[in-house]
Structures are given as structure tokens and as C-alpha cells.
Homo-oligomer: A and B are copies of this chain.
Amino acid sequence: MYIAMNRFRVARGREEDFASLWRLRERYLSGVAGFRTFLLLRGEPQADHTLFVSHSEWDSASAFRAWTDSDAFRRAHADARTPPGTLLGHPQFEGYEVLLRK
């Protein structure tokens, strides 16, 4: 199993706007081959930002990569652009293999 995470530093006061974008975006994952679960995570507020993490579980790294290369992926991201001033810097991608699961 493979987990894809993106880490977003969201400006203070923009947290609700950011979460709303994901309520739209996650709908596009329905029925994508190899997709299992999506979570949107919100960390503790910091001085100038709140860390959000988009967390998606996939059958394999190759299933995830096929999705990022698909038209459905481009549509999802075109429909849910992040307004200027929402993020501090670019999101940081992290991909993981699941070694243990309990």
C-alpha cells in the first residue's frame, strides 16, 4: 500500500476557505483505479500558519502516479484553485510505502 501526502502551510484566518476547496476536490477521487481512502488533516495552529495535510491511500505507488497523469486529476485541480494569499510557500509532497499495518 502507498500513501501520498501533501503538506500545506495555510495562512492564519484562511483555514476554512482552504478546507472548503477540498470538499470539492475529494469528490473527483471516487472510482479512480487503485484509490482507497482520502483524509484531510489539520494540525495545531502556529504563529503565522496552520499545517494541513492531504492524505490519500492507494493500492500502490503506480496507481497513484497513474491518477496524477490522468485527465481527471487535471480537472480536479483546475476546478479547485487556491486563491492568492491562502498558502505560505508551495505544498511539500511526501510519498510513503506502508511497512506495517495494524
Contact = CB atoms under 8 A, between A and B. Distances in A.
Interface of A: 3, 19, 22-23, 26, 29-30, 37-44, 51-53, 94-102
State how many copies of this chain the complex holds.
Answer: 2
5 contacts: A22-B100, A38-B100, A40-B98, A41-B98, A51-B94
B51 A101 contact: no
Contacts of A52: 99
Given A30-B102, A53-B96, 18 more contacts: A3-B39, A19-B99, A19-B100, A22-B99, A22-B100, A23-B100, A29-B102, A37-B101, A38-B101, A40-B98, A40-B99, A40-B100, A40-B101, A41-B97, A41-B98, A42-B97, A43-B95, A51-B94
